């Protein structure tokens, strides 16, 4: 497996802005494998109750189809979470000895009756004492603004954790409602991606995705990584309370495998 040519400048950009765009991380054949696996998961979603949307809130279903921990069911997606080229980027961006998997998720924003993903930080929904977790959001389609690309507020990870937002019940575009005054002048950045290109974002960085107003679905496969030293805190989360961890204990065990190590 050849490593992605990540430079010290990339790492510094990530540290300063809380996100980074990296192009051509996967090639066409790797993207095609993921598309096929997602198509299978979509077909299986009722059989295995994979879609988190209806389980949380009806309005959520228009935001996206969200299927988590697919790596446990589909060997091809297990291979993908272990893709060292991707995981090694996460390890180096966090300057960590190793990174573990927190969970994966397929995020498919269907066209037409589509809602935006509201501005939010991720970390505030996660059962962890430390910040530092980050997501790789891999585009499997041409993801333009019209198709619901991701937007980030540069530097907003430096705000630290703010009170969580009720994602089903907010006006999704209202960035002013979620950012403190000190950030009012900071312009969000839209990141359009080609298939196989991705963003990595810090779990504290405010991000958003617009509705999909095109005719085809927007498919993304996200992997969430946690750096060495991340410890467990009791907190309700969509993936459930997994791994029998004690409060304050470092994440470990087969549900949170190490994916890259220095």
Judged by the rule CB under 6 A, the positions of this chain that interact with ligand AKG are 64, 107, 109, 117, 122, 135, 137, 148, 207, 209, 220, 222
What angle do helix axes 84-93 and 8-17 make, rounded to 10 degrees? 60
Beta strands (DSSP E) in the chain are: 19-22, 65-68, 98-109, 117-120, 134-139, 150-152, 189-191, 198-202, 207-209, 218-227, 258-261
Please say which residue, 74 or 133, places its beta carbon nearer to ligand AKG: 133
Question: Which one, of 79, 73, 116, 129, lies nearest residue 211 by Cα?
Answer: 116
The three-state secondary structure class of 76 is: helix
Least CB distance from residue 12 to ligand AKG, whole Å?
22
Please say which residue, 64 or 102, places its beta carbon nearer to ligand AKG: 64
Tell me the residue number closest to ligand AKG, measured at CB: 209
Please say which residue, 88 or 122, places its beta carbon nearer to ligand AKG: 122
Radius of gyration of the CA atoms of the chain, in A: 17
Least CB distance from residue 72 to ligand AKG, whole Å?
19
According to DSSP, the β-strands at 98-109 and 65-68 are antiparallel
Please say which residue, 206 or 232, places its beta carbon nearer to ligand AKG: 206
Please say which residue, 91 or 147, places its beta carbon nearer to ligand AKG: 147
Cα–Cα dist 122/108, whole Å: 18
Least CB distance from residue 131 to ligand AKG, whole Å?
14
Least CB distance from residue 205 to ligand AKG, whole Å?
9
Least CB distance from residue 56 to ligand AKG, whole Å?
14
Torsion from C-alpha of 73, 75, 239, 163, nearest 10 degrees = -150
């Amino acid at each position: 497996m050849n490593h992605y040519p990540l430079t010290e400048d990339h790492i510094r950009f990530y540290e300063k802005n809380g996100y980074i765009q990296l192009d051509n991380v996967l090639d066409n054949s790797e993207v095609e494998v993921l598309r096929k696996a997602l198509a299978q998961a979509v077909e299986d979603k009722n059989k295995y109750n994979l879609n988190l949307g209806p389980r949380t809130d009806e309005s959520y279903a228009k935001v996206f189809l969200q299927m988590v921990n697919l790596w446990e069911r589909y060997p091809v997606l297990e291979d993908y979470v272990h893709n060292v080229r991707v995981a090694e980027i996460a390890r180096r961006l966090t300057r960590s000895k190793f990174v573990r998997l927190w969970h994966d998720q397929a995020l498919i924003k269907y066209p037409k009756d589509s809602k935006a993903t509201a501005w939010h930080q991720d970390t505030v929904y996660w059962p962890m004492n430390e910040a530092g977790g980050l997501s790789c959001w891999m585009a499997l389609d041409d993801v333009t603004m019209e198709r619901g690309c991701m937007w980030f507020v540069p530097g907003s990870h430096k705000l630290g954790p703010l009170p969580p937002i009720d994602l089903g019940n907010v006006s999704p575009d209202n960035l002013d409602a979620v950012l403190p005054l000190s950030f009012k002048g900071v312009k969000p950045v839209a990141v359009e991606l080609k298939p196989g290109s991705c963003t990595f974002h810090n779990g504290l960085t405010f991000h958003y995705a617009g509705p999909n107003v095109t005719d085809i679905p927007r498919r993304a496969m996200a992997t969430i990584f946690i750096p060495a030293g991340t410890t467990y805190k009791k907190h309700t989360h969509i993936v459930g309370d997994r791994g029998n961890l004690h409060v304050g204990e470092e994440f470990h065990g087969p549900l949170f495998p190490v994916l890259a190590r220095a």
